Amino acid sequence: MKVTIIGAGAIGGLIGQRLAATGEAQVSALARGATLAALRERGWRVRQGETLATGPVAAAHPLEDAAKLGEQDLVVIAVKGPALAQVAASVVPLLGPQTLVLPAMNGVPWWFCQGVPGFADGASGGDATLTSIDPEGAIGAAIPLANVIGCVVHASASTPEPGLVDHKMGRGLIIGEPGGGASERVQRLAALLERAGFEAKASENVRLDIWYKLWGNLTMNPVSAITGATIDRLLDDPLVRDFCSAAMREAAAIGAKIGCAIDQSPEDRHQVTAKLGAFKTSMLQDVEANRPIELDALVSVVREIGQRVGVATPNIDALLGLTRLFGRVHGLYPQ
């Protein structure tokens, strides 16, 4: 089968290398700059502990070479949220009627509220486009919902240098139909990912899985970014912990309105998160590396959905305002 990875960073590189290693897929990558050069010179490289795994890759530039790759069986999108609108057009020449598009990204995806009962009527804002993450509608226009498979990534990896992935822990991938239910194509993809070494689960409600992961990331990521603190220190401070819990209760109320009810308390979730110890969130890592922060897909969109379904979000609003200002002052979020 033919597979293209868009965004050959930590998660994209991990998925690309593992799929290439199965021998079942001809894996290409769309990348730029130093990452493109590194992939062309050395192929996929994933390091875990003292072990370095490699794999072949056809590396191409998204603007110059995407059309040359032709129709793909699977397209994995693993870019950071702020870059998605820029790369959406490069997905178009890769698509055929049966192409699967797997967005392996943080936060709420652009398609999340499409088909949600009552969301796109006049009382909730007109349509299901989430303007905080797809302001011009370009992503939704480029990538048909019929091609999309929802995805939640439970893995931690980083890129110490271009083209090299440092896989720290986790191999979980939850995938499912955006509209829910079971399907043969999801089962086939889950089986392929299992053969590639992932703990792949076919979910009949992937929207809930996405919202549940977001429920924790919504607070831990931005609070760690503006404070510079690791997870353990955030949860050890009772005032910070209480603030995070209040924001999580707002997000849970929103979830209940859109078919993503969470049957857990914030304190229960904190106990799970605390097991990570002195862990740096992805947003804190982005701040330390002077990279744009993924604020909109984690926080802005939650506020937007809350406004659309009539749930007040004073704590989420405060979190968004503080993190947005921090990002703008440090050049990590658009003015």
* Residues 218, 108 contacting (CB under 8 angstroms): no
Two tokens, residue 203: 């979910």
Q: Which residue has the tokens 């002077």?
A: 290
Burial (CB count <10 Å: 0-12, 13-18, 19+), residue 28: buried
How far is the C-alpha of 6 from the C-alpha of 268, rounded, in Å? 35
Catalytic residues: 213
* Residues 59, 28 contacting (CB under 8 angstroms): yes
How far is the C-alpha of 19 from the C-alpha of 54, rounded, in Å? 11
- Three-state DSSP class for residue 30: strand
How far is the C-alpha of 143 from the C-alpha of 61, rounded, in Å? 19
How far is the C-alpha of 153 from the C-alpha of 175, rounded, in Å? 9
Handedness of CA 179, 184, 187, 193 (dihedral sign): negative
Residues in the chain: 335
* Residues 20, 5 contacting (CB under 8 angstroms): no
Reported pTM = 0.94
* Residues 174, 203 contacting (CB under 8 angstroms): yes
* Residues 248, 189 contacting (CB under 8 angstroms): no
Phi–psi pair at 314, nearest 5 degrees: -60, -35
Q: Which helix (H) or strand (E) holds 152?
A: strand 150-161
Two tokens, residue 261: 């009810």
Two tokens, residue 191: 């089986």
| DSSP character string of 226-275 | HH---HHHHHHSHHHHHHHHHHHHHHHHHHHHTT----S-HHHHHHHHHT
Q: What domains can be seen in the chain, in order of their start residue?
A: 2-204 (3.40.50.720), 207-329 (1.10.1040.10)
Two tokens, residue 335: 């003015």
Q: What does the pLDDT profile of the chain (335 residues) look like in tens digits?
A: 999 999 999 999 999 999 999 999 999 999 999 999 999 999 999 999 999 999 999 999 987 788 899 999 999 999 998 899 988 999 999 999 999 999 999 999 999 999 887 676 544 445 789 999 999 899 999 999 999 999 999 999 999 999 999 999 999 999 999 999 999 999 999 999 999 999 999 999 999 999 999 999 999 999 999 999 999 999 999 999 999 999 999 999 999 999 999 999 999 999 999 998 999 999 999 999 999 999 999 999 999 999 999 999 999 999 999 999 999 999 999 99
Phi–psi pair at 165, nearest 5 degrees: -100, 130
pLDDT digits (tens, 9 = 90+) for 215-246: 999 999 999 999 999 999 999 999 999 999 99
What are the distances in angstroms from CA 122 to CA 72, 128, 136, 253, 309?
A: 38, 11, 20, 21, 11
pLDDT digits (tens, 9 = 90+) for 158-211: 999 999 999 999 999 999 999 999 999 999 999 999 999 999 999 999 999 999
